[in-house]
Copies of this chain bind each other. A is one copy, B any other.
Amino acid sequence: MEFTLKDLCERLNLEYSGDGDMIITHACGIDDIQKGGLAYIANPKEIANLPTPAGIFDSRKKNIQDLDLSQRSAVIVPIGTESPGSSLVYSNDPMLDHAKAAKLLHEGASKSGMVDDRACIGEKVKLGENVTIDANAVIYNGVEIGDHTVIRSGVIIMDNTTIGENCLIYPNVTIREHTRVGNGVILHPGAVIGADGYGFFQRERKNIKIPQIGRVVIEDDVEIGACTTVDRARFKETIIRRGSKLDNLIHIAHNVEVGEDSLITAQSGIAGSTRTGHHLMMGGQSGIKDNLRIGNNVTLLARTLVTSKTEDNSVVAGMPSRPIDIWRKIQALINSLDSLFERIRSLEVRLNKADDKE
Contact = CB atoms under 8 A, between A and B. Distances in A.
A198 interface: yes
A145 interface: no
Contact of A248 (B201, B231, B234): B231
A208 interface: yes
Interface in A123-182: 134-136, 138, 140-141, 152-154, 156, 158-159, 170-172, 174, 176-177
Interface string A231-267: 1001110000001110111010100000001010111
A223 interface: yes
Nearest to A106: B213
Chain B CB within 10 A, most for which of A27, A208, A236 = A208
Query: Contact residue range for chain A?
Result: 35 or more
A205 interface: yes
Interface in A300-358: 302-303, 305, 307, 319-320, 329-331, 333-338, 340-341, 343-344, 347-348, 350-351, 354-355
A11 interface: no
A26 interface: yes
7 contacts: A28-B235, A29-B235, A95-B210, A174-B226, A206-B243, A266-B271, A303-B305
Interface of A: 26-29, 32, 93, 95-96, 98-99, 102-103, 106, 109-110, 118, 120, 134-136, 138, 140-141, 152-154, 156, 158-159, 170-172, 174, 176-177, 186, 188-190, 192, 195-196, 198, 200-201, 203, 205-211, 213, 223, 225-227, 229, 231, 234-236, 243-245, 247-249, 251, 253, 261, 263, 265-267, 269, 271, 279, 284-285, 287, 289, 302-303, 305, 307, 319-320, 329-331, 333-338, 340-341, 343-344, 347-348, 350-351, 354-355
